[in-house]
Amino acid sequence: MTSSNPSGGSAPAAGAGFCAACGAALSAGVRFCHRCGTPVGQGLPVTRAPAASGGAASVLPWGVAFVSLLALVAMVAGKNFGAAKGSGIDGSANSLPTQAVDGAGAGAAPFAQGGGGGGAPPDISNLSPSERANRLYSRIMEYAEAGKADSVAFFAPMAMASHEMLQGATTDERYHFGRIAEVTNVPAVAKAQADTILRSAPSNLLGLLLAARAARMTGDNTAAKTFDQRLLKALEPELATRLPDYDMHRAEIDRAAADARKPN
């Protein structure tokens, strides 16, 4: 339903609508759900903004590949994590914004780039692929550490798909991808990311600890102990390089080293 404007054209109805995938309230004019990333108008009918002059390509800045990959990864990551033992089921509340992950502002949207509560939720197409992937990684790790299984399962497919789409991923981003695969029980992805890191930097501590964890996920304890020994041998020389990646993940490195020193 449209209404006339002074220029003689037409404008869309003012209603904002709701996301067909997760039910989040949407602001008028956004093209993607700020909570789950689903393109507005996909699935059940909702109000959507008029198409830009650039055509379909401008309406889907993430690319059609994101939607296809999201569906594929969801079948693996969501199913595997849902079967994890000892995980707490926490309900849908953790799909909502949290201060720890999304910023200090009350009511901040899940992909908000800082605090400052209130206001319309941002169009997440404004985030770069790297920013989107990193924000999702932080959310996944927050919930995994708290044992909030259904929240991890909700965001894991998006997080894995976002990392898969990165062009020229950094070592840190590959480590993030591997860690997401670890907590969602997808050892093949964790191993692939570790192998890629170690191919270019055989002594990289993040690659070594990720490789050891991926080996243990498949029950290959011999390979895991080999990576443990490589980690311990490289530990001091690598830490001396003061790589920013090591500073950001120092707690994980220290924990991996402590585990590597434990007797069989």
Per-residue pLDDT of 215-249, as tens digits, reads 999 999 999 999 999 999 999 999 999 999 999 99
pLDDT, one tens digit per residue, over 190-215 is 999 999 999 999 999 999 999 999 99
- pLDDT of 6 reads 43
pLDDT classification of 33: cutoffs 50, 70, 90: confident
Residue 167 placed within a domain: yes
Tell me what the mean pLDDT of segment 18-43 comes to: 69
Residue 139 placed within a domain: yes
Residue 23 placed within a domain: no
Q: Distances from the Cα of 226 to the Cαs of 81, 208, 231, 259, in angstroms? A: 27, 10, 9, 13
CA distance 118 to 107: 6
Residue 21 placed within a domain: no
* Structural domain harbouring 192: 64-261
Number of domain units in the chain: 1
Residue 29 placed within a domain: no
**Least confident stretch, 24-33, 80-89, 163-172, 175-184:** 80-89
Q: Distances from the Cα of 145 to the Cαs of 23, 139, 259, in angstroms? A: 26, 10, 18
**Best-predicted range by mean pLDDT (16-25, 123-132, 180-189):** 180-189
Residue 188 placed within a domain: yes
The b/e string for 221-241 (b: 16+ C-beta within 10 A; e otherwise) is eebbeebbebbeebbeebbee
Residue 138 placed within a domain: yes
Q: Which residue has the higher pLDDT, 57 or 219?
A: 219
Tell me what the mean pLDDT of segment 30-46 comes to: 62
Q: Which residue has the higher pLDDT, 205 or 77?
A: 205
Whether 35 has a pLDDT exceeding 80, the answer reads no
CB 190, CB 222: distance < 8 Å: no
Whether 83 has a pLDDT exceeding 60, the answer reads no
pLDDT, one tens digit per residue, over 60-72 is 444 444 444 444 5
CATH code of 236's domain: 1.25.40
Residue 16 placed within a domain: no
- pLDDT of 232 reads 97
Tell me what the mean pLDDT of segment 116-123 comes to: 46
